[in-house]
Amino acid sequence: MGNKVFRPKLWALGLTVVLCGAMIALGIWQLGRGQDKAELLARYEAAAERPPREMTAGAWAEPGVIERASVAGRFDGTRQLLLDNQSHERQPGYRVWTPLLLNHGGVVIVDRGWIPAGGDRSKPPPVPVPQGEVRFTGYWRTLPEPGMRLEVDNCAPAPWPRIVQYPTADELRCLYGQSVPGGLFLMDADAPGGYVREWGAGPELSPGKHYGYAAQWFAFAAVLAALFIIYSFRPRT
């Protein structure tokens, strides 16, 4: 480029810096999500090696801790929640959260797995529950949190089953009373009365996809920077 000189336009420089910065930030964010998923998988694997403990009223999930647990009680099929925006193999759907009335008092929210949304989103799909007393094991953990929380009131009056967006512990206590502990019970995949369950093994938990997204964002930033440099060389005047 002996007959050309590097002479970038100010608007192009500013735009490139902003876009590259945004792409790099997205790549770093995806790296963080991948690391979070890797740590979550490790906690599931560690929990699977320990014997389950009996859940009792007042139990509280410790942040970052996943443990094996067992429960006994009766499902309340009249007040179920459908956690919205949940996908399985790229198909939209819900996670079914059903309150379990423990034999010794108290309520535990049980995640019974994923179901497809169906064609009409205005009509929640039927979610029958097992009748009578049930006993099963699973994982006990803190409530899942979204990457970005929407401003919604999950406690607002609505027909059951309610479609919700990542309710907090306070919202669950608003819906079910103060006896609801701050946590979520994930029903084992072989327990009857549930739906699609892939705790610690589903593709949604794979850290690899986030690392792939991060690599794409970094590559986009590199390509944009290279194009900016190439087209900023102009003939000498």
Digit-coded pLDDT (tens) for 126-184: 888 888 998 888 888 888 877 666 677 777 788 888 888 888 888 888 888 767 777 88
* Residue of 95 and 152 predicted with greater confidence: 95
Which of these, 99, 116, 121, lies nearest to 179 by C-alpha position? 99
Residue 205: the pLDDT is 63
Contacts with 78 (C-beta within 8 Å, 6 or more apart), sequence order: 160
Mean pLDDT of the chain, nearest integer: 83
Cα separation, 222 vs 219, whole angstroms: 5
In the chain, what are the domain boundaries?
A: 53-203
Pairing of strands 233-235, 107-116: unpaired
Residue 57: the pLDDT is 64
Task: Give the other-Cβ count within 10 Å of 148's Cβ.
Answer: 5
User: How much of the chain, in percent, has pLDDT values that exceed 70?
Assistant: 89
Between 17-21, 96-100, 158-162, 179-183, the lowest mean confidence (pLDDT) is in: 179-183
pLDDT in tens, 36-94: 778 777 777 776 777 777 777 666 666 667 888 888 899 998 999 999 888 888 888 89
Cα separation, 105 vs 94, whole angstroms: 28
| Ramachandran angles phi, psi of 179, nearest 5° | -80, -5
Is the Cα dihedral 155, 161, 167, 172 positive or negative?
positive
